[in-house]
């Protein structure tokens, strides 16, 4: 346990020194600020630049703001997270620091759990801070609008992001190159998406969490429909972490 705590502190310190945590915070804060503003004022911006062209836009709504927010998080935000943490083990391989620490008694399980804990904590703080900012701006811009399940709709995306981190962690264990780890995650994402499109798997697939969470705000789907996909995602995440630990124990450094 002491090894895990010490190595986790080292991970947080390293993420601060290499500006990884700062980049995450700044970009996610940007998403929180820009998504409601973009949804609210994009019609005026487009109209201002559309000279001599008559364009009619529907009145922006709070639902548009949240759709924009989750689109940004699930595309640019998730991509950034993957890129930043894809080198969490490859950099250790390159510097040879893992071999030194493991010979001094650090367990391989502690390495994986520390890496994941740091990545999950930084991502979680960045995500929920971004959500809080987006929530504040949306309420300010649409003060008379009340959407159902606004807070709950954020949890499926968060669970999915943690699942992707677990997939990435296994990829980092299996492959020494950061690019290969990202490719591994992309393949896994495609497989999950394809399974999610099949009618027999749609209701239990992890991809349901990010494809339907905005529909909660319009009462198109119910909260109960997210229970099984969420449980499935949590179980898969736990199994992936266990597999990462088992594989790393057998891996030659």
Range of the domain at 209: 2-250
Quick one: pLDDT band at residue 145, thresholds 50, 70, 90? confident
* Cβ neighbours around 201 below 10 Å, total: 16
Token pair listed for 220: 């198109």
Cα 47 from Cα 212, distance rounded (Å): 31
Residue 162 near residue 237, CB atoms below 8 Å? yes
- Average pLDDT for 129-142: 94
pLDDT at 154 over 90: yes
Phi, psi of 22 (to 5 degrees): -65, -45
Cα 196 from Cα 184, distance rounded (Å): 18
Query: Of 91, 104, 84, 99, which Cα lies nearest the Cα of 19?
Result: 84
Residue by residue, what is the 3-state secondary structure of 84-128? HHCCCCHHHHHHCHHHHHHHCCCCHHHHHHHHHHHHHHHHHHHHH
Based on the number of CB atoms within 10 Å of its own CB, is 86 exposed (0-12), middle (13-18) or buried (19 or more)?
A: buried
pLDDT, position 196: 75
pLDDT, position 192: 83
Q: Which pTM does this prediction carry?
A: 0.91
SS3 189: helix
Query: Of 124, 225, 247, 245, which Cα lies nearest the Cα of 174?
Result: 247
pLDDT at 52 over 60: no
- Average pLDDT for 207-236: 91
Q: Into how many domains does the chain fold? A: 1
Token pair listed for 9: 């502190």
Per-chain mean pLDDT for the chain: 87
Phi, psi of 64 (to 5 degrees): -65, -40
Quick one: pLDDT band at residue 50, thresholds 50, 70, 90? low
Quick one: pLDDT band at residue 103, thresholds 50, 70, 90? confident
pLDDT at 90 over 90: no
Query: How much of the chain, in percent, has pLDDT values that exceed 90?
Result: 54
* Cβ neighbours around 10 below 10 Å, total: 14
- Could you give the angle at the alpha carbon of 98 between the alpha carbons of 26 and 108, nearest 5°? 95
pLDDT at 45 over 70: no
pLDDT, position 51: 57
Q: DSSP secondary structure string, 22-87?
A: HHHHHHHHHHHHHHHHHHHHHHHHHHHH-TT-----PPP-HHHHHHHHHHHIIIIIHHHHHHHHTT
- Average pLDDT for 114-143: 94
pLDDT at 200 over 60: yes
């Amino acid at each position: 346990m002491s090894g895990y705590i010490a190595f986790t502190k080292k991970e947080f310190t390293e993420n601060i020194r290499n500006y990884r945590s700062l980049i995450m915070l700044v970009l996610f804060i940007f998403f929180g600020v820009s998504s409601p503003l973009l949804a609210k004022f994009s019609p005026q911006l487009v109209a201002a630049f559309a000279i001599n062209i008559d364009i009619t836009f529907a009145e922006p709504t709070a639902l548009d703001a949240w759709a924009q927010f989750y689109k940004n998080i699930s595309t640019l935000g998730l991509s950034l997270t993957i890129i930043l943490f894809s080198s969490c083990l490859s950099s250790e391989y390159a510097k040879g620091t893992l071999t030194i620490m493991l010979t001094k008694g650090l367990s391989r399980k502690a390495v994986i759990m520390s890496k994941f804990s740091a990545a999950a904590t930084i991502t979680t703080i960045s995500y929920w801070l971004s959500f809080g900012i987006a929530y504040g701006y949306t309420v300010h811009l649409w003060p008379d609008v009340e959407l159902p399940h606004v807070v709950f709709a954020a949890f499926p995306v968060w669970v999915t992001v943690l699942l992707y981190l677990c997939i990435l962690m296994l990829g980092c264990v299996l492959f020494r190159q950061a690019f290969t780890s990202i490719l591994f995650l992309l393949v896994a994402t495609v497989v999950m998406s394809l399974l999610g499109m099949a009618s027999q798997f749609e209701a239990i697939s992890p991809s349901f969490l990010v494809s339907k969470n905005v529909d909660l705000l319009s009462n198109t789907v119910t909260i109960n429909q997210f229970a099984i996909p969420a449980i499935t995602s949590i179980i898969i995440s736990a199994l992936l972490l266990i597999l990462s630990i088992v594989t790393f124990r057998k891996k030659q450094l």
